[in-house]
Amino acid sequence: MSARTIFSVNGQPFFPLGGQVHNSSAYTASELETGWRALEEIRANTAEIPIYWDLIEPEEGRFDFSVLGKMIESAREHNLKLILLWFGTWKNGTMKYTPSWVKNNPKKFKRVITREGVSTSVLSSHCDTNLEADTKAFRALMEYIKRVDEKEQTVIALQVENEPGIMGGAKRDYSEESEKEFRNLVPEYLIRKVQENSGSIINNVWKENGGKEKGSWEELFGYDAEEFFTAWSIARYIDRIAEGGKKIYDIPMYVNVWLATEWDIPGAGYPSGGAVPKVLDIWKWTAKNIDLIAPDIYARNQKSYYDFCNLYNRNDNPLFIPESSIDESNSLNMFRAIADYNAVGFHIFGIESILDENGSVKSSARSVVNSFKSLSSAIPLILRYQGTSNIHSVIQEEYASEQRINLGKYAGFVRFLQLDPYTHLIDPGAGPLDFHHRDQIREERGRGLLIQTGEREFYLLGGGYRLLLYRKDMLRAPLSVFYSSDFIKSRSIDYLSVEEGFFDADGNWITARKRSGDESDYGVWVHPDVGVVRVVLSEE
Ligand code: DGJ
């Protein structure tokens, strides 16, 4: 599966690149302006914006979409697409955005009850009245979007709920209805799937508990039974909401995940039943109307970040990252997510936070902003080459001064300009680059993408590195002093052209500036403010 099969606009593949607004309080027009400004700064094409259930249905059955209408108009004025986040039954595992007529009537709209019998501020997924009310509101939302937007397609996708699960000191609901279901036999289709997926997390748990063909949740899954059961119940609930919405207007729908790692406690450390790696299979087998399960990846260290990318990038689940941090770490990791884990879209959370009170980019956000700028100039290339072996991430891992990339007849030697991020020792062979960038280019760690589009054609984006292209046949020639220095080797390559530029809306390459002589003799360098660099080599 590639980006083509998930997000599209007017039948054309679309790669959503952008940010999610801070979403915890109702939005004022001036706050929205800051959001648009910040999105413009990262050259976003998409904004993720919440729709609160309590705002659109203040009284049961009376809907008010005026705020959404203005939002859609305003997004169009700013040339942005929208991904709307439905804050219904769940937001971060609680019911914070449900209307007061739901909150004030716990007898009708039932809550999750803890083992001790305490009522929580989480709606129960075992209560049909809850499901009906949420589905009704969601369907009304989809009807409105279809009516005002089917032609323009400003809204390209819906996030159904926000980080669903039980966040309230319970691994599962102990209400009467839930108890009854929990004692039932595990549905046959789930057991069949578990059996078919040998080697999966859930299959291992099942085997550890005796690998029985039939039984209750506890009999089949032991300690994990409560979390598995909750995942199944919530996945089924959300699937029905999505099904209701899709019957009205069929656009991509996904569920986001508050991630957890082993030993985190469900219900306390993260929302129990949310689509964390352990129960991802249950979600995929149950929520058929959900196109994607999308992890919110805030991990800073590269190992955890890549592990999460790997777990959610599956044949049945392309990776989409709806939330990530504005840290420097993410300014590197995002390239890995796109090149090596085929992310079909990428967003950071709390986009307004990149700006200071004067509206300038904060120094702490500069590298992430720069990475976004680079990516935004190359989206047509990403869509065309994603999932192929032509796209390579360039990442200056800790302590790395160089990265080597196999490019067919050529060997790519990536030299990072900042040799050591701690001592700020720089690449001594980096030469003059160009006079605009001599100093600033070494400020940030090397990162970006290298995309090979033909035997002798390459596109580079990102910053903090230079690429030396060597002919492999020359490297393999008998050792000679001549070929041992970068200085000589980088001058021995024949460029037909080295150009700075970008892609227009139709995907055509536009050259902004040509480089030669001093500016290409030391290899091909790139920086976010030059957009993309295209290199074509001559025939040997
Ligand atoms: C994840 C949630 O999905 C967001 O709505 C927001 O609460 C962030 N966490 C805050 O870090």
- 279-to-257, 364, 427 alpha-carbon distances in Å: 11, 35, 46
Pairing of strands 81-91, 111-113: unpaired
CA-angle at 349, arms to 344 and 355, nearest 5°: 125
162 lines ligand 1 (CB under 6 A): yes
**Residue 5 above 90 pLDDT?**
no
pLDDT, tens digit, 9 for 90 and up, residues 87-135? 999 999 999 999 999 999 999 999 999 999 999 999 999 999 999 999 9
Atom of ligand 1 nearest to the CA of 163: 3
Question: Average pLDDT of the chain?
Answer: 92
296 lines ligand 1 (CB under 6 A): yes
pTM of the predicted protein model? 0.95
Q: Whose CA is nearest to atom 5 of ligand 1?
A: 23
323 lines ligand 1 (CB under 6 A): yes
Least confident of 19-28, 161-170, 325-334, 378-387: 19-28
23 lines ligand 1 (CB under 6 A): yes
Instruction: Give dist(CA 165, CA 463) in Å, integer.
Output: 40
371 lines ligand 1 (CB under 6 A): no
Three-state secondary-structure class, residue 261? coil
Listed in sequence order, the residues at least 6 apart from 172 whose beta carbon sits closer than 8 Å to its beta carbon are 166, 178, 182, 226, 227, 229, 230, 267, 272, 273
Q: Backbone dihedral region of 456: left (phi > 0), alpha (psi from -120 to 50 degrees) or beta? A: alpha
Pick from 296, 297, 298 the residue to mutate for probing ligand 1's pocket: most ligand atoms within 8 Å of its CB. Answer: 296
353 lines ligand 1 (CB under 6 A): no
135 lines ligand 1 (CB under 6 A): no
Within 92-220, strands assigned E span: 111-113, 119-123, 155-162
21 CA from centroid of ligand 1 (Å): 10
163 lines ligand 1 (CB under 6 A): yes
pLDDT interval class at 4 (50, 70, 90): very low
87 lines ligand 1 (CB under 6 A): no
Q: Whose CA is nearest to atom 8 of ligand 1?
A: 349
Tokens of 508: 């055509």
Q: What is the average per-residue pLDDT within 449-473?
A: 94
Query: What is the structure's pLDDT at 30?
Result: 73
Running DSSP on this structure, what letter comes out for residue 344? Answer: S
Query: What is the structure's pLDDT at 424?
Result: 56
Instruction: Give dist(CA 203, CA 281) in Å, integer.
Output: 10
Q: Backbone dihedral region of 211: left (phi > 0), alpha (psi from -120 to 50 degrees) or beta? A: left
pLDDT interval class at 73 (50, 70, 90): very high
**Residue 510 above 60 pLDDT?**
yes
**Residue 287 above 60 pLDDT?**
yes
Listed in sequence order, the residues at least 6 apart from 62 whose beta carbon sits closer than 8 Å to its beta carbon are none
Atom of ligand 1 nearest to the CA of 85: 5
Q: What is the DSSP string of 390-458?
A: TEEEEE--TT--EEEEEETTEEEEEEESBS-TTT--B-TT-TT--TTTTTGGGSS--EEEEEEEETTEE
325 lines ligand 1 (CB under 6 A): no
Query: What is the structure's pLDDT at 505?
Result: 79
**Residue 198 above 80 pLDDT?**
yes
Pick from 25, 87, 162 the residue to mutate for probing ligand 1's pocket: most ligand atoms within 8 Å of its CB. Answer: 162
323 CA from centroid of ligand 1 (Å): 8
Atom of ligand 1 nearest to the CA of 256: 3
pLDDT, tens digit, 9 for 90 and up, residues 152-169? 999 999 999 999 999 988
Q: Which long-range contacts (CB under 8 A, 24 or more apart) does 216-222 make?
A: 216/182, 216/183, 216/184, 216/185, 216/186, 217/182, 217/186, 218/182, 220/186, 220/191, 221/186
Q: What is the average per-residue pLDDT within 338-358?
A: 97
Pick from 24, 256, 323 the residue to mutate for probing ligand 1's pocket: most ligand atoms within 8 Å of its CB. Answer: 323
Listed in sequence order, the residues at least 6 apart from 129 whose beta carbon sits closer than 8 Å to its beta carbon are 108, 109, 110
Q: What is the average per-residue pLDDT within 459-484?
A: 80
Three-state secondary-structure class, residue 494? coil
**Residue 381 above 50 pLDDT?**
yes
Instruction: Quote the percentage of the chain above a pLDDT of 70.
Output: 93
pLDDT, tens digit, 9 for 90 and up, residues 298-311? 999 999 999 999 99
52 lines ligand 1 (CB under 6 A): no
92 CA from centroid of ligand 1 (Å): 7
224 lines ligand 1 (CB under 6 A): no
Q: Whose CA is nearest to atom 10 of ligand 1?
A: 349
Instruction: Give dist(CA 252, CA 314) in Å, integer.
Output: 17
Do 368 and 324 meet the contact criterion of CB atoms below 8 Å apart? no
Do 90 and 164 meet the contact criterion of CB atoms below 8 Å apart? yes
pLDDT, tens digit, 9 for 90 and up, residues 488-499? 777 778 899 999
**Residue 515 above 60 pLDDT?**
yes
Q: Whose CA is nearest to atom 7 of ligand 1?
A: 92
Q: Whose CA is nearest to atom 11 of ligand 1?
A: 349
Report which of 72, 70, 82, 65 is spatially closest to residue 28, judged by C-alpha positions: 70
**Residue 443 above 90 pLDDT?**
no
Report which of 8, 159, 155 is spatially closest to residue 75, judged by C-alpha positions: 155
Query: What is the structure's pLDDT at 1?
Result: 41
349 lines ligand 1 (CB under 6 A): yes
22 CA from centroid of ligand 1 (Å): 8
Helix axes 328-340, 302-312, angle to 10 degrees: 30
Tokens of 456: 């002798």
297 CA from centroid of ligand 1 (Å): 11
Atom of ligand 1 nearest to the CA of 162: 3
260 CA from centroid of ligand 1 (Å): 14
